[in-house]
Amino acid sequence: MSDSKSHIAHALCAQSASLFQRGLTGGSSGNISARLGDGRFLVTPTGMSLGALAPDDLSVLAADGTHIDGPAPTKEWPLHDAFYATRVQTGAVVHLHSTYATALSVLADVDAGNVLTPITPYAIMRLGKVALLPFFLPGDAAMGDAVRALAGKHAAVLLANHGPVVSSPTLAAAVDAMEEFEEAAKLLVLTNGMKRRLLTGAQVVALVARYNVEWDT
C-alpha cells in the first residue's frame, strides 16, 4: 500500500470508527468513500460495520469505478460515483442512517429543495442547500441517477425514508459536514411543531456572501 493510499485508508477507518462509536451509524449501515490522488477510490465494503474496519478491509476501485482489489464495495457505490462525476471538487462522500437526519427524511412537510430549514448558520455554511430525493430501494442505481440529475448543484442530499449523503473536497470536511447535518436535523426534529425563530432571508444572504456558500437561488 503506497504512503498516500495508506494514509487515506487509515484516516477513513479512524473516521468510520469515530462515527460508529458516537452512535451516528449502527450495525453494518452507512458507507464512506475517498478519492486517491491517482484517481482510484477507497470504499467501505458491503456488509461490514464501520466500527470495525482495518485498511485491508477497504475496497479499491479504479477511476472508472471498476472493482480492482479488496472485498466487494458497498452496494450504494452508484450514489457515491454520481457525486464524483458531477462535482469535480469531491474528494470524499459519506452516507449514514443517522437518527435525526433520517427522522427528518420521513416528515411530510419538509422543503424538498432545501430540507434544512435555516435554524442556525452552520448547516448553511457547511452544506449549502440540501435537496430531498425520493425513496429508492437500498442499492438501487437510480439513486445515482437522481444525484446526477441535480447537475452538481448540491453538495449534500437527504434520501427520503433512508438517510443523509454528504460530499466534500476532503474526508475530514465530509465527516464534519455530516455531523453538522445531523445536529441541524436534531434541532429541527426537536422543535418540530413549535413556533421557531428562524434566520431571516437577509441573514441567509449575508451568510452565503460572507462564506462563499454554494447557494443556487
**Residue 180 bears catalytic tag:** no
User: Measured in Å, how far apart are the chain's first and last C-alpha atoms?
Assistant: 44
**Residue 76 bears catalytic tag:** yes
CA dist list (Å): 81 to 84, 119, 143, 159, 191: 5, 31, 10, 16, 35
Angle between helices 171-190 and 3-21 (to 10 degrees): 20
Using DSSP, state whether 168 is helix, strand or coil.
strand
Choose, from 76, 179, 180, 182, the residue flagged as catalytic: 76
Query: Strand locations in 139-211, DSSP E?
Result: 156-159, 163-168
Q: Which three cell numbers stand for residue 18?
A: 469515530
Choose, from 84, 100, 122, 180, the residue flagged as catalytic: 122
Active site residues: 76, 122
